[in-house]
Amino acid sequence: MRTIDWVDGAVELIDQTALPDRLSTLRLETVEELADAIGRLAVRGAPALGVAGALGVALAARRHGSDPEALAAAVRRLATARPTAVNLALGVHRAAGRLPDGPDAVLAEALAVRDEEIAASEAMARLGADLLLELCGDRPRLLTHCNTGGLATVVGGTALGAVLELHRRGVLDSVVASETRPLLQGARLTAWELDRAGVDFRVAVDGAGPFLMARGEVDAVVLGADRICANGDTVNKIGSYAHALGARRAGIPFVVVAPESTVDLATATGAEVQIEDRGTAEVLTRPDGASVGPAGTRAANPAFDVTPHDLITAIVTDRRVIRLDRGERL
């Protein structure tokens, strides 16, 4: 099952807002529909966003092939649908580079982005699993944050791909999935993927992570990235930084697994990255629609944070393992 694909002239993707209650598919035929799906996280996760952006340009090329202004507007709309994950703009601009060659060439490029992400997931799972065994020994107890599985890629995953590879090899002990406030990618999506795979797992509130580490219940933290800067600073889902601080204090490895497409050498440090702020409603609205706080309460809701490179043990991509703890650099 693929999270996102091109099917009979349209983009089809798993609606991640409906999980874990319902496994349903959205069929999107216009750039506006796709950009809206990206904005409300029906499709999410850096590699999946790269594929979505590229396929979105293929939609635009078919519909507006002979209208340069409409094409430019579509490219802008897609590339800016979310600001933080470098993969989205990268996928959009890669496919847009083929616009002069016509819609078929654009689609071929978008499908190449998709296929490269699939191959990258397989490679990362192997390299990530090998490194985790090297760092922790057999039967590690791992903590992961947000969702970095097949739902965040096309199939397989990044950090969760490595975790699932350990499970397939029969050498994984258990997983703590950090719930990932406020949209619960951990409690809803990672839990769904781990459950389907038959992994022994628990969900913990985000704030419990560092304490579980301090209490000796976690052997390593493994998570993904939305952008890895030239100096190794890693931008990922809000809460990642707190887990990195907890891991350092507990003396356990903190490992980032992400494809080369997430490495952004044009951005020197995390301080230069635009962090998406998503507003008050998703933090302070209860499932029944009522407000959590007193009327008028405002929320701070940065969707991502920056983990400084000196808190990261290693970055694993589809091509290499960079041991930041040993002074290696990107």
Residues classed as catalytic: 226
- Which stretches within the chain are classed as H helix? 31-39, 46-64, 68-79, 86-96, 103-136, 159-169, 191-197, 209-214, 240-250, 281-284
Give the shortest CB-103-to-ligand MRU separation in angstroms: 28
Nearer to ligand MRU, 71 or 193 (CB): 193
Nearer to ligand MRU, 45 or 53 (CB): 45
Give the shortest CB-328-to-ligand MRU separation in angstroms: 22
Nearer to ligand MRU, 167 or 237 (CB): 237
Return the residue matching tokens 């990268």. 90
Give the shortest CB-304-to-ligand MRU separation in angstroms: 6
Side-chain half-sphere CA neighbours of 74 within 13 A? 27
Return the residue matching tokens 């002239």. 9
35 contacts 55 by C-beta, under 8 angstroms: no
In the bound state, the residue with its beta carbon closest to ligand MRU is 224
Taking CA atoms, 250 is separated from 90, 139, 243, 302, 306, in Å, by 36, 19, 10, 26, 20
154 contacts 51 by C-beta, under 8 angstroms: yes
Residue 157: CB atoms within 10 Å: 29
183 contacts 209 by C-beta, under 8 angstroms: no
- Please give the angle made by the CA atoms of 245, 146 and 28, to the nearest 5 degrees: 150
Nearer to ligand MRU, 96 or 120 (CB): 120
Give the shortest CB-327-to-ligand MRU separation in angstroms: 25
Residue 318: CB atoms within 10 Å: 23
The footprint of ligand MRU (CB under 6 A) covers 41, 44-47, 85, 146, 148, 152-153, 158, 185, 223-226, 236-237, 303
Give the shortest CB-44-to-ligand MRU separation in angstroms: 3
Nearer to ligand MRU, 6 or 304 (CB): 304
